[in-house]
Amino acid sequence: MGDVFVNPVRAVGWLIISILLTVIFTGVGINQAHTYFDGETVTAHVDRCSTHRVYSRHGSHNETDCYGSWTTADGQKHDGEIPGAGAGDENTDVKLRAIGDDVVEDSEIGALWPFIVAVIGLGLTVGAIFAVRHAVRKRREMRAGFAGPPPGYQQHRPPTQYGPPPPPQQQYGGPPQHGAPQYGAPQYGNPPAYGPPQYGPPPGGYPPPQGGYPPPGYPRQQGGYPRT
């Protein structure tokens, strides 16, 4: 069952087989249990046994079938296959439980063994149900992987921090603006970590305003403006 868990069709096939196995052997077990518990104990005579070769997918083996007769309490004589008898029981008498033509072995294990197979089939059915569910879920995950993430799905990725750092030996800051004071020289060397460049006050504080420069919003006049 190597690929059962990823093949829903094969998993469903195992489920059907296990259900049929459980149902068939449960029915056989109920019939034999009825014969064992409600039947009468009889003595059957084994008339003959025959051995034949049985072939299957897994090989071959010998099987022996024995036939004989028994008489019930009502005086009726019945004949048929003797369950549990082997080649060594030929021309001997064995004990059986019988209801008319139906007979089973006169032992609990020999009569109720179909229930053991039915319990095994029930366990296989439960396992096959889980295999079907797992195979269907696995197949959906594989299809979802090919189709991409579902709508509304958010992939957990770390947020981008200001883009990649600039290369070394790069001048930071834009070109000087007209009328804006420029302090110090351009900074060279290794770039800062992440984030925008940080500016601080120039060394020694800001210089006092100089005369000759128009206030913001006034046109430039020749000779400048008087200091106030």
DSSP 4: G
**Residue 211: pLDDT above 90?**
no
What backbone phi and psi angles, to 5 degrees, belong to 48?
Answer: -155, 155
Q: Is the pTM of this model over 0.85?
A: no
Spatial separation of the C-alpha atoms in residues 85 and 74, rounded to whole Å: 25
Q: Are 18 and 11 in contact (CB under 8 A)?
A: no
Of residues 100, 94, 98, 82, the one with CA closest to residue 32: 98
108-114 contacts at long range (C-beta below 8 A, 24 or more positions apart): 108/36, 110/83, 110/84, 111/32, 111/33, 111/35, 111/36, 112/29, 112/32, 112/33, 112/36, 113/29, 114/25, 114/26, 114/28, 114/29, 114/32
- What pLDDT is attached to residue 175? 55
Strand 59-71 and strand 102-105: the pairing is: unpaired
- Mean pLDDT of the 38-52 span: 93
Q: Which residue has the higher pLDDT, 219 or 29?
A: 29
Per-residue model confidence as pLDDT tens digits over 91-143 = 999 999 999 999 999 988 888 999 999 999 999 999 888 888 888 888 788 77
171's tokens: 């001048």
- What pLDDT is attached to residue 199? 59
**Residue 225: pLDDT above 60?**
no
- What pLDDT is attached to residue 2? 46
Query: Per mean pLDDT, which range of 134-143, 182-191, 201-210 is the poorest?
Result: 182-191
Q: Are 8 and 18 in contact (CB under 8 A)?
A: no
Average pLDDT of every residue of the chain: 76
Spatial separation of the C-alpha atoms in residues 132 and 112, rounded to whole Å: 31
97 CA to centre of own chain: 48
Spatial separation of the C-alpha atoms in residues 68 and 166, rounded to whole Å: 100
Q: Which residue has the higher pLDDT, 18 or 5?
A: 18
Can you say whether the dihedral through the CA atoms of 192, 194, 199, 200 is positive or negative? negative
